[in-house]
Amino acid sequence: MTAPDPDASRRTLLLYAALLAPYAFLVDRFWYVCDDAFISFRYASNWAAGEGLRYNLWDAAPVEGYSNFLWTAVSAALLKLGAAPEVFTPLLSALCGALLLWRVLRALRVELGLPVAAAAAAGASLALSPSFAVWSTSGLETMPHALLVFLAFEQLFLRDGTRAAWLGSTALLGVALIRVEGFALAGAMATMAAATRWGRPAALRALAPGLTVASAAFAAYFAIRWSYYGEPLSNTVTAKVGFSTDVAARGLKYAATALLVLLAPALGVLGLLPAWRTLGWRVGGPLVALVGALFVWPVLAGGDFMPFSRLYVAALPLVALLLGLAARRPALAGLTLLLAAGGAASAWDVYPVPASVRNEVGFRDQFGKITEWKMWWHEQDQVGPLSRLGQALAANSLPGESVVMGAMGAEGYYSGLNVYDRYGLVTPDVARMEAADLRLPGHDKRVEHWHFVDDRPTYLFANLMVDPRASRAFAQDLQRRGLAEIYAPELVPVGVLVEGGVPLWLLRFRLISGEAGVAWERYRGVVRGYEAGL
């Protein structure tokens, strides 16, 4: 490594102050809570209330429908303290993003000893990144996860000594607990940390206690979790992950979209060789390997429907280190800054890369050729209506009643009803189905409302509407499937006013023939026959 600049800390602090302003501006522009975050909030709410870590209280056995245990535990702690997680988790996440930006800049200047221009260019790739800003809020664990990954790398590969080994091992435990696939990443990093210390007995001895304690803690968590849920893997893995060539092809489009929108990270490839030559195999090797793993995994998983490349956020800080190494050449520093600014324009739905090129790698077929900014707008815009729907259901339903849902975040959190999940996150029989619809990543195993007729949910469908006549299409489908005598439309004025003083109606199709009998069996056969013919 290059010898650190004696004034590096002071200059780094000034650089951080300069980059914190545009970062804070973008965070404020993108501040929101996405619907999926409310799934964890509902688990946390039940846990904090003493009902256990479960989504539906009626389930004979709890179902692990979240993928972020540590973040769900944080949400439960907030609820215990009387704090609303939908308010405070975005704030905690933004603080994690601000801390991560500082740690990256410090690593560039102090640990790697890079000049100010190179560090500024690399830091700008984060501070001006819409992806980094979007996922600094959202209510999800994305930014805390990215922070833990970087802290583990920083302590285990950029530093030496017992203290760094303990801090790095603790960060690895956090990586393993905050994401369902985190144990694999943490295990790979631990293996590389041991390998890079091979032949240095003192360094290996310093590392061993921390890794041993972290491994034992994770093993205890895993055993308790398996005993509680009865499955070795989260139901979310079963519901969302299915490897195939078609899934990987969609994942490649996801990766290409990220590079075409963010722009600056694409230059990270120019830092691969300098990383190996400058940092040596003990630091450069793990850096290149981690960036590669964090890039490939989303491809194999088939991408993610959410906006602005959520699955690549953990890779961006490490890519910034590669960009810093490449940007030691002034021309590349300037180009990195230019591309970072070009990527920032997507925060206003402006893209330097033509739409004709970006559309070639579009991966959300269900939404058509939607831009990342428009996808973000759709995500943040739906939470309000779904929250109001959940509140309306809670106010007009009885304890123990059930409903079929697709987006089961805010609606499920506020309603408190038992939920049949069309995407399988908390409905294992759907999660175990073969993927049949690859139009929207993360929703490959989707079923229609009629799939749950045999389970006799109280409400087959529910929505808030200004014009009750909008229910006709669903009612016609019920009639066509022979279900009109079992589920009847019900309109409830909910007293919620929209713009202009127009009242909203809660439309739901209520079960009116719940008793077993010949009629039910006959109608069930009609539905099953229809589904078989699809």
How far the first Cα of the chain sits from its last, in Å, is 62
Helix, strand, coil percentages in the chain from 3-state DSSP, rounded to 5: 65, 5, 30
Its sign, for the CA torsion 358, 237, 79, 417, is positive
The pLDDT of residue 501 is 66
DSSP H or E stretch at residue 185? helix 182-196
Q: What is the 3-state secondary structure (H, E, C) of 11-71?
A: HHHHHHHHHHHHHHHHHHHCCCECCCHHHHHHHHHHHHCCCCCCCCCCCCCCCCCCCCHHH
DSSP for 431-489 reads HTSPP---SSTT-SS---GGGGGGG--SEEEEEEESSGGGGHHHHHHHHHTT-TTTEEE
DSSP for 143-164 reads HHHHHHHHHHHHHHHS--SHHH
CA distances (Å), 97 to each of 91, 129, 203, 302, 323, in order? 10, 12, 31, 26, 19
pTM: 0.93
The pLDDT of residue 531 is 45
Measured CA to CA, the distance from residue 412 to residue 24 in angstroms comes to 31
The pLDDT of residue 533 is 41
Strand spans (E) along 81-240: none
Exposed e or buried b per residue across 86-109, where buried means at least 16 C-beta atoms within 10 angstroms of its C-beta? bebbbebbbebbbebbbbbbbbbb
- The residues with which 491 forms a beta bridge, in sequence order, are 507
CB 532 within 8 A of CB 422: no
- The residues with which 227 forms a beta bridge, in sequence order, are none
Query: Which tokens is 478 given?
Result: 């019920």
DSSP H or E stretch at residue 237? helix 235-240
The pLDDT of residue 504 is 82
The pLDDT of residue 483 is 77
The pLDDT of residue 58 is 85
The pLDDT of residue 469 is 63
pLDDT in tens, 58-109: 888 899 999 999 999 999 999 999 999 999 999 999 999 999 999 999 999 9
Q: Where are the domains of the chain?
A: 8-367, 376-532
CB 220 within 8 A of CB 263: no
The pLDDT of residue 503 is 76
- Residue reference for tokens 């960060």: 171
Query: Which tokens is 423 given?
Result: 């995407």
CB 241 within 8 A of CB 326: no
Report residues of the chain scoring pLDDT below 50. 1-2, 4, 516-520, 523, 527, 530-534
